[in-house]
Structures are given as C-alpha cells and as structure tokens.
Amino acid sequence: MARHVVAKVDELDIGKSKLVKVAGRDIALFNVKGEFFAIANRCPHEGADLCRGQVVGLAESDEPGHYRMTRHGELVRCPWHGWEFDIRTGKSWCDPARTRVKSFDVSVAKGGALAEGPYQAEVFPVSIDEDYVIVEI
C-alpha cells in the first residue's frame, strides 16, 4: 500500500465529490461533514461514475405514511439507476442478504433495519496531513 496525495483539503467543500486518479484507479473522493472518504468510482452495478452521483441523506420510515431523513450527506446515489451507497463503508442499501424467507415468518424487524447487501463499492483509507488529503492504495 502506498500513500498518495489526491487533493488539498480546501478543494472539496462539504457535500461535494471529486474524481481523482490514483495508481491507475478512478477514485471518488467525498467530503462528508468535514471528513473525507474514498470509494472506487465505478458503480458495481453497471459501471456509472459514482463521483457524479447526488449526495443524499438516508430516507427511513417506521410505517407507511411516515418519513424520516437522517444521516444527511452520508450516502451517494448512483447517477444512473439511483442505487444508494453508504459513503463511509461503500455498502449498498438495497440488497438484502440472500437468505431464504420462511413461510409466514412475521418477525420482520421494524424501524428502518435495512440489511446491507452484497453490492459493495470498494473503499480506501483516507487521512489528512496538514492541508492535504491522502488516499492509501
């Protein structure tokens, strides 16, 4: 693993993203409330540029008709098919683990307990050194 300077801290405002090329890889760099995160730019679904996606919060609900927006600025929606990825972990929010559902098992967890699923954007460690954003690949 090598450390690469990819940007200056003040180049990327909160809520924004930037495409950086590191060691031949396209990386999407995000500023989430002052913290920096890096995920592989290529959406694992069909290859769109995640750096071009909308940065959004997490829409959750405990029951139909009730809506809650949390985790502002912590997710990115793929610019094509709108799949949501957690910027911090790269995990997608829509694919449940592929377990067989038992007949009439009514023990559904309430309250936005989305399962995190197999579609995963690769993440890279990010650190700050004075004014510089550093990605390890």
Partner 1 sequence: MNEMIRSLESKLGLSTVGGIDCDLHPASPATKTLLPYLDEYWRETFVMRGVDRLSLAMTSSPPRAPINVRSDWKAESGFAGDTLEAVRAQALDPFGTRLAICNVLHGAMIMHSDDMAAALCGAANEWLAREWLDREPRLRGSIIVSAQNAELAVAEIERRAADHRFVQVLILAQNDEPLGRRRYWPIYEAAARNHLPLCIHAGGSNRHAPTATGWPSYFVESYVAQASIFESQLLSLVAEGVFQKVPDLKVVFAESGFTWLPSFFWRADKTWRGVRAETPWLTEQPSDIVKRHVRFTLQPIEAPPDQDALARTLEHIDCDDILLFSTDYPHAQFEGLNALPVAFGETLAKKILIDNPLATYPRIAADF
Partner 2 sequence: MTETGTLERPVETKAKYNLIDCDIHPSMKTPAEIQPYLSQRWRDHLATYGGHTRQGLSETLSHPRMVPEVSRVDSWPPSGGPPGSDLPFLREQHLDNLGIDIGVLVPLRFNASGQRHPDFAIAIATAINDWQVGKFLDPEPRLRGSIIATQEDPANAVAEINRRASDKRFVQVLLPPRSIEPLGKRRHWPIFEAAVRHSLPLSLHVGGVGGHQATGAGWPSYYLEEHHSQVQTMQAVIASLIFEGVFEHFPELKISFVEGGFSWVPSFGWRMDKAWQTMRDEVPHVKRPPSGYLRQNVWFTTQPMEEPNPAKNLADTLRWIGTDRLMFSTDYPHWDFDDPRFAFKVPLTAIEKAAIFAGNAVNFYGLN
The CB-of-82 to partner 1 minimum distance in angstroms stands at 4
* The two structure tokens encoding residue 73: 């600025």
Among partner 2, partner 1, none, what does residue 59 contact (CB within 5–8 Å per kind)? partner 1
Which x/- pattern, by CB under 8 A, does the window 72-111 give for partner 1?
A: ---------xxxx--------xxxx----xxxxxx-xxx-
Please report, to the nearest 10 degrees, the dihedral formed by the alpha carbons of residues 14, 20, 26, 29 taken in order: -20
The CB-of-53 to partner 2 minimum distance in angstroms stands at 6
DSSP per-residue string spanning 47-114: --BGGGSEEEEEEE-SSTT--EEEEEEEEEE-TTT--EEETTT-BBSS----PPPPTT---PPPSS-P
Asked if residue 49 binds partner 2 (CB under 8 A), the reply is yes
Greatest distance between any 2 Cα atoms in the chain: 57
Asked if residue 34 binds partner 1 (CB under 8 A), the reply is no
Q: Which of residues 70-129 bind partner 2 (CB under 8 A)?
A: 77, 79-82, 98
The CB-of-9 to partner 2 minimum distance in angstroms stands at 26
Q: How far apart are CA 29 and CA 18, in angstroms?
A: 5
Which residues are at the interface with partner 1 (CB under 8 A)? 56, 59-68, 81-84, 93-96, 101-106, 108-110, 112-115
